[in-house]
Structure 1
Amino acid sequence: MSIFEKPRRSFCKKVILLGDAVNTKKMIQNVLA
């Protein structure tokens, strides 16, 4: 495992979580609309 492997993986996880949050927000707005 290289030095860059771990930070990049956690960064990807953050991006995925952020995307999930945005999608959830959109879904909630669609339900409320």
Structure 2
Amino acid sequence: FFGTKNGKLFASHNDGDSWKMIEGSLPEICCVKAYTL
């Protein structure tokens, strides 16, 4: 996962070979943490 200062959140399901925007209207993103449940 990675986020941008203009509120876009991206995810990759193939170790970063390609990325998909999963949210585009969040406030400024400063940190992304991922957890496996």
TM > 0.5: no
Q: TM-score, normalised by structure 1?
A: 0.16
In the superposition, the TM-score normalised over structure 2's length comes to 0.16
Which of 1 and 2 has greater Rg? 1
Structure having greater relative contact order (Cα 8 Å, sep ≥ 6): 2
Return the structure number with greater strand share: 2
Q: Which has the higher helix share?
A: 1
